Structure 1
Amino acid sequence: MEQITNTILMVRPVAFRMNEQTAVNNYFQEDLKDEDVNERAQKEFDDFVSKLRKVGVNVIVVDDKPEDDTPDSIFPNNWVSFHQNGNIGLYPMFAVNRRKERRMEYFARLEEEGFKIKNVIDYTGAEEDDVFLEGTGSLLLDRVNRKAYCALSPRADEDLLIEFCEDFEFTPVIFNANQDVDGKRKAIYHTNVMMCLAEDFAVICLESIDNGKERKNVLKHLKEDGKEVIKITEAQMHEFAGNMLQVKGAFDKKYLVMSSRAHKSLTDEQVKNIEKHCEILSSDLDVIETCGGGSARCMMAEVFLPKA
């Protein structure tokens, strides 16, 4: 089993804007009210893809369809996950207008690229019961140690998480993570906003796990698996410093991918701790972060499928 991959699926946006349907519980979103917001997001997307390809990451870019009006299609990791045994997970989405993002033709594209698909395990029927689990936004997968870290929220249901863990053979590590919103503690919408799991380390906002027992349990699991724990503050989390992904470039060189905003928020010591393990690759994603409420990690669906 491998924790990181060289192949990423990314969806180029055509109708990007602040999604009013997700803003109800994604407290990172703001409306720029800017007519050329989609063009600006496309430029950020293209520059980001170019930087990844430059270091040898295999980026498979697929195009969104304008007629579907899917403002969040740039974040495919929420509706799909790809696994080394050839299985694909298909996930139920909280926002109705995000459900159209699930496109089977993308799987055909992966098969054209030489990847082998065995089964699609489909959880999308849970939408009828208003039950959600938004892919690797909700699930932080330790693929080597077979653990699924999950912060419960309106978009991450505990029973469905357990069902996923039974199907894919992961052990659930369940907790609650909150952020300050107008003086109240409210659930963080996705686990991957407050936590990043790399091969030998984890970047995590422990401050967001209010319950001491839950915090200790998460730390126990990370430490027993030999992960160096790099802590970030809640303020840094709001700069998307938890929304990072480790990938492999040419010659298996490792990179921790993040936005420029996340990179700037890190202290010298945090940077030094990350760079002990891998190089940092960052790109300007300001428009995507501001309107979409997601960052670099959300834009990349990791492909672990076997080659045919």
Structure 2
Amino acid sequence: MVAPALRDMIPAPKEYVHSTNAVVMVPPVDFKFNAETSADNEFQKKLALTDEQVRQQALLEFNGMVELLRRHGVNVTVMNYEQGKDETPDAVFPNNWFSTSPTGDVYLFPMACENRRREVRTRHLVSSLVAQGFNVLNVQEIGDLKAPQSFLESTGVMIMDHINATIYAALSVRCDRELLQQFAHEAGFKDVVFFDTKMASGQAVYHSNVMMAVGEGFAVICDEIIEEFERRRVLSSLQKTKDVVSITEEQMNHFCGNILQLRNDKNEKLIVMSMSAYNAFTKEQKDVLRHHGQLIPIDVSTIETIGGGSVRCMLAENFLPR
């Protein structure tokens, strides 16, 4: 824990801003099809490419995304991440193992797949953030990181509405209800809206952030995969303060739910998404979203096809104070 004197150096935010202009990204140094995660991630697909070709294309997409975000005024910290003796094929999706807060807290979370636990490199994360002038006052583990019996994969499974202090979460193997409630209490969230999902395959969605996204004034959600009784409850909660864009399961499969609202250095709102998602949204849906920020489509087709995650999964929001 952090000494009170250090904590007092960081004033409490006057208003909890929902979107940030700073993100952390991790280069895809070991990127390839991850057989361990494919057990419950139906979004992963193999391509007729060698591992080396996959890595080269993934690195081109990653660098292009970093450049595009910076060009639009987003502060991108590229984490110092080197290859180790054991591969980490999904390290390009850092939002599954940590989250940050404006009070200087970094939370670490237990992940379900053993080869994903190797991604947790706290020293590299903290040094990369400090080098960019951010204050890390406290690092806190949620659950057992090394040999977990239950899992909570950070903002992959928790969709946070910071303004209304509410977390939305689709329960699954990767989202344990008790750990979810523990984190919500410790991080100061007032309400947790959890629900069960069932896709056309009969399986639960593996991560909440492929089926829904919440911005300051909007929400995108594939509500048709939520059981009817719970669906009404979730939509009722969202509709109190959000323009709700309902997407189909087919649109979800194109990662329309895997989008993120950010701000640039001029405090203008942006909504980042993959090119696949942008093309799958209808004109009417895009018109609604444009009321809440400039739409920024990014080509990450190799990463999202092989990795089963898209633009939002590649971005770990950085709310830390400077």
Q: TM-score range by the shorter chain?
A: over 0.9
Q: Distance in 1 between matches of 2:262 and 2:152?
A: 24
Conserved? CA contact 2:80–2:125, under 8 Å: no
Mapped partners of 2:268, 2:42: distance in 1: 35
Work out whether 1:30 is the aligned partner of 2:45: yes
* Match 1:269 to one of 284, 296, 299: 284
Where in structure 2 are the equivalents of 1:269-288 lying within 5 Å? 269-288=284-303
Q: Which residue of 2 aligns with 1:87?
A: 105
Q: Is the 8 A contact 2:117 2:146 kept in 1?
A: no
Partner of 1:212: 228
Match of 1:50 in 2: 67
Q: What SS does the aligned partner of 2:266 have?
A: helix
Which residue number corresponds to residue 237 of structure 1? 252
Moved more, 235-244 or 58-67: 58-67
1:180 to 197, 200, 220: 200
CA distance in structure 2 between the aligned counterparts of 1:32 and 1:124, rounded to whole angstroms = 36
Q: Deviations over 1:71-93 (max 9, x none)?
A: 00000000000011111110001
Q: Deviations over 1:201-243 (max 9, x none)?
A: 001111111x22211111121122x111011111000000000
Cα shift at 1:301 = 0.3
TM-score by length of 1: 0.95
> Given the alignment of the two structures, is residue 166 of structure 1 paired with residue 179 of structure 2, yes or no?
no
Q: Distance in 2 between matches of 1:286 and 1:196?
A: 20
The Cα shift of 1:106 comes to 1.2
The residue that corresponds to 2:316 in the other structure is: 301
The match for 2:139 among 120, 125, 134 is 120
Q: Deviations over 1:252-275 (max 9, x none)?
A: 111110000000001010011111
String of CA shifts for 1:101-143, please: whole Å, max 9, x gaps: 1112211221121211222220251663421000100100111
Between the aligned partners of 1:261 and 1:39, the Cα distance in structure 2 is 20
Paired residues of 1:82 and 1:305 also in contact (CA < 8 A): yes
Hey, what's the Cα distance between the residues in 2 that align with 1:233 and 1:195?
A: 11
Give CA-to-partner distance per residue, 1:137-169, whole Å, 9 cap, x none: 010011111111110011001111111111112
Counting matched residue pairs gives 302
Query: Structure 2: how far apart are the matches of 1:129 and 1:39?
Result: 33
Aligned to 1:178, the other structure's residue is in SS state coil
Query: Alpha carbon RMSD of aligned pairs, Å?
Result: 1.2
Is 1:93–1:134's contact at 8 Å kept on the other side of the alignment? yes
Superposition deviation, residue 62 in structure 1: 2.0
1:153-198: CA deviations, max 9, x gaps? 11001111111111112111110122122xxx11100000000111
Please say if residues 117 and 145 of structure 2, whose CA atoms lie closer than 8 Å, have aligned partners that are also in contact: no
Equivalent residue, structure 2, for 1:7: 22
5+ residue gaps in structure 1?
A: none
Give me the whole-angstrom Cα distance separating, in 2, the residues matched to 1:193 and 1:62: 24
Between 1:161-170 and 1:58-67, the stretch displaced more is 58-67
Distance 1:149 1:122 in 2: 21
CA distance in 2, matches of 1:252, 1:267: 27
Q: Counterpart of 2:23 in 1: which secondary structure? A: strand
Amino acid at match of 2:152: L
Whole-Å Cα distance in 2 between the matches of residues 264 and 152 of structure 1? 29
User: Secondary structure of 2:45's partner?
Assistant: coil
Q: Distance in 2 between matches of 1:295 and 1:177?
A: 20
Please state how far the C-alpha of 1:63 moved relative to its aligned partner.
4.0
4+ residue runs of structure 1 moved beyond 6 angstroms? none
Q: Is the aligned partner of 1:196 residue 2:196?
A: no
Percentage of matched positions with identical amino acids: 41
Q: Alpha carbons of 1:208 and 1:116: their partners in 2 closer, same or farther (altered >3 Å)?
A: same
Task: From the two aligned structures, give the one with the greater strand fraction.
Answer: 1
CA–CA distance in structure 2, aligned partners of residues 221 and 11 of structure 1: 34
Q: Which amino acid aligns with 1:88?
A: V
Q: CA 1:127–1:102 in structure 2 vs 1: closer, same or farther (change >3 Å)?
A: closer
* Preserved CA contact (<8 Å) 1:93 1:127: no
